[in-house]
Amino acid sequence: MLYTAFMKNKKIINYDKYKFYSIKDMGLAFMCALIAPYVIALLILLVSSLALKTGVSQNDIYNSIVYNVFSLLASPIAFCIVFLLFNKIKNVSFSASKVKFKIGLWNLIICFILPLVCVFGLQYFIGGIDHVLELLGYNLQTINLPLDNFGWLVLALILMALLPAIFEELVFRGIILNGLRNGLSDLSSLLLSSFLFAIMHCSIQQFIYPFILGFVLGWIALRTGSTVTSMIVHFLNNAIVVIQSYISIHYNCGITLEYNVWQWILSIALVIITGLIIFLIDKFYFKHKNQNYVSGEEDSINAEQQLKSKDKNLSKGIKNIPVLLWVGIGIALVLFIINTAIGFMPETL
């Protein structure tokens, strides 16, 4: 499908829409990514409600392993469907999501370093926020999936690390970030896609860390030119958290912090160190290597970049965001408020 872009010199340039996402498509992409998991979750609830007719209590259903396994599968299945249908309906090639497996040894090493830096540098600060929420009466969300043997650990790694890493990255870094970059600056695209990734969770408990992680995932994808690197970082990040839980349960060696003044100072210091490490990696490795998101692109890339320049000159920043995306953000904020209010309700209600 060929489109035309009129440049300042009035020259007409043809480019292939089949090979990249447009910012105008992002509203639909985010709306689908927001609603689809709820649709899958509703189907799971409808099926589980049939079990009530057999005499099984509601609490037994919600606390059952089967229910929690399918609950964990809801989002990956939804994002997989969104990715496939979106590309089919918009007639865009899967290659537009920049899934490139040739990423280089040093980039791969960075992908293994980043999750360690993020998890161990931010977990005490995020734990402190959870602690404050709990003191305020918020019911922290947990998944009733046992981790008391190696088999459950493997299943948890698949459900909570591997599948989310693949399909969330295909949607949020593959479609949404790439699409936003065709109308916004790289920094604006990173910030907005990170916000969308965080608000998609519709939970006050899962907002700050997903926002930070979303920015890091978008940044590594941007710098390496491949969403495979963001998939690796995403998987390892989640895997470290799951393995930590497994070790804590299996060996009964969990660390409980009281979060006094000194522990808060330590947690904030670790956050600063984490940001500094990422800054140094960006400044002395990626920028030194002169790597960027469009390196190595072929076909239509010049026209695509020219179109982006035209879009930015005609309409900058917030004016370039499509109306449907604003609607999606509005819906997400409503769901966020509702879920937050539910989280502060007493469990006996």
Amino acid at site 8: K
User: What is 2-70 written as a DSSP string?
Assistant: EEEEE-TT--EEEEEGGGS--GGGHHHHHHHHHHHHHHHHHHHHHHHHHHHTTT--HHHHHTSHHHHHH
3 DSSP β-pair partners: 15
**pLDDT tens-digit profile of 172-192?**
999 999 999 888 888 989 999
Q: What is the pLDDT of residue 3?
A: 41
Whole-number Cα distances in Å, 168 to 146, 307, 344? 24, 27, 28
Contact 182, 23 (CB under 8 A): yes
Please give the Cα distance from 86 to 80 (Å, whole number).
10
Q: How many degrees, rounded to 5, is the angle at CA 232 between CA 229 and CA 238? A: 140
Contact 74, 37 (CB under 8 A): yes
Whole-number Cα distances in Å, 30 to 132, 152, 323? 31, 32, 12
Residue 160: pLDDT over 90: yes
Residue with tokens 């990626």: 286
Among 207, 218, 188, smallest CA distance to 321 is for 188
Domain positions in the chain are 19-297+316-343
Judged by DSSP in three states, 274 sits in helix
Q: What is the pLDDT of residue 312?
A: 46
Average pLDDT value over all residues in the chain: 82
Contact 38, 334 (CB under 8 A): no
CA dihedral 75→80→85→90, nearest 10 degrees, is 100
HSE value, Cβ hemisphere, 13 Å, CA-based, for 135: 8
Q: Distance from CA of residue 12 to its chain's centroid?
A: 37
Q: Report residue 249's pLDDT band, with 50, 70 and 90 as the boundaries.
A: confident
**pLDDT tens-digit profile of 14-32?**
345 567 888 888 888 999 9
**pLDDT tens-digit profile of 281-335?**
999 888 766 544 444 344 334 334 444 444 444 345 667 788 889 999 999 999 9
For residues 101-129, average pLDDT? 92
